[in-house]
Amino acid sequence: MTTTTLPDLAGVIKTTDIYKKMKFDYVAWAKTAQILREHAPGWQFCLEKTNSDNELSSYIFKAPNGSGYIMGYFEHIDTKVKSSLFPFAITDFANKAIVFDKISCTDFQNSHRRGLCACACFTFGLAYELWAQIEIEEAAKLPPPPEQGTRGTPTGPNQKLDPVSDKAKNDPPITNDARNVINAKLMKFSELYPDEMKKLVEAYKKEFKVSKISPITLARQGEFLSHAISKIDDTL
């Protein structure tokens, strides 16, 4: 009987495979696919089907809370050996789960590409170094509890705002070069995805408690926008 061993692709990626968006490192999904063809020949990424016969929905599972997710796996084309199923949530640009009935073909497409990369890490260890670093950085970025007495948190009606805290004063400004890059991405993003741009603007205003998206003055504002855009289109 022929046995098939899962390739170990830990340590395969090179610095030349990585590109940076703001402070985050990525390997593009197309590069991930090329690495798999080279180092894991015969293995192809697949999606498990549901019991539904409704075309696109036949590949989207419904979670108990009404959001959607896909179940990816790798299968060897010669031996038909399959890897374990890997669930991957279908999310928007802010990494929030999308209600099942509102999942678009673009949402499905983007989650398929990202699911390929995540499942390759889970199954073969491909680019585990980046995934581990991203998890550490995202955990560190959890918002702190609101500070009492800062300029943005009045505790009573008509309360006079206190001076900005030292922590806010030390919030690093965005560089001119980074601002220009983000503005160029926003223009292109608005042309390609006008509906998503509206959602992004609303999320930005809510996140930073501003009335409009410009001017971009802080580094973390640029990081927020860059990360949100990459969730929709990682070519921008």
- The pLDDT score that the predictor gives to residue 45 is 97
Per residue in 142-184, pLDDT tens?
A: 555 544 444 444 444 444 444 444 444 467 888 887 888 888 8
Helix, strand, or coil (residue 71): strand
d(CA 221, CA 204): 8
DSSP letters spanning 146-157 = PPTTSTT---ST
Residue 232, amino acid: I
* Domains delineated in the chain: 15-139 (3.30.390), 171-236 (no CATH)
- 19 DSSP 8-state letter: E
Helix, strand, or coil (residue 3): coil
Per residue in 16-47, pLDDT tens?
A: 888 776 667 788 899 999 999 999 999 999 99
